[in-house]
Copies of this chain bind each other. A is one copy, B any other.
């Protein structure tokens, strides 16, 4: 039972549902945080990864974000349209593009990262560092399960 009077006996046993609901909460707050930069969750992740990895290829980005290549195209399109990212031809492989963040992209990225850090500090204030560490490590161990 909870304060709402609804019996969660069965649902409470399922970790996955807790995870999903928590992500909804976090993402709603994150969307508000990123709105001022006109970024969304995925465009922000992509921008950060490109800024941290100059020359990254789209297939690598897709793998890093656990997305399909086709979905990454749209994300990079959006960042390129706003002159935050450029696709450069790769001489050694003319099928591929090397992604790099422009000066503008780096500038927005830095501001957005600071805002997201503040958002996370606020949202996870109730968790001490040790619990936060267990949380992150537990979540990361699941990623690995998928990649195997």
Q: A residues engaging B (CB < 8 A)?
A: 4-11, 13-28, 30, 41, 45, 48-49, 51-53, 56, 60, 63-66, 113, 116-117, 119-120, 123-124, 126-127, 131-132, 134-136, 138-143, 145-146
Contacts and interface: CB of A to CB of B under 8 A. Distances in A.
Contacts of A27: 16, 20
Contact of A14 (B6, B9, B10, B120): B120
A13 B113 CA distance: 10
- Majority-rule SS of A interface residues: helix
B135 A123 contact: no
A117 to B, nearest CB: 7
A49 B124 CA distance: 28
B24 A66 contact: yes
A140 B18 contact: yes
Contacts of A51: 10
A25 B66 contact: yes
Contacts of A15: 26, 120, 124, 132, 135-136, 139
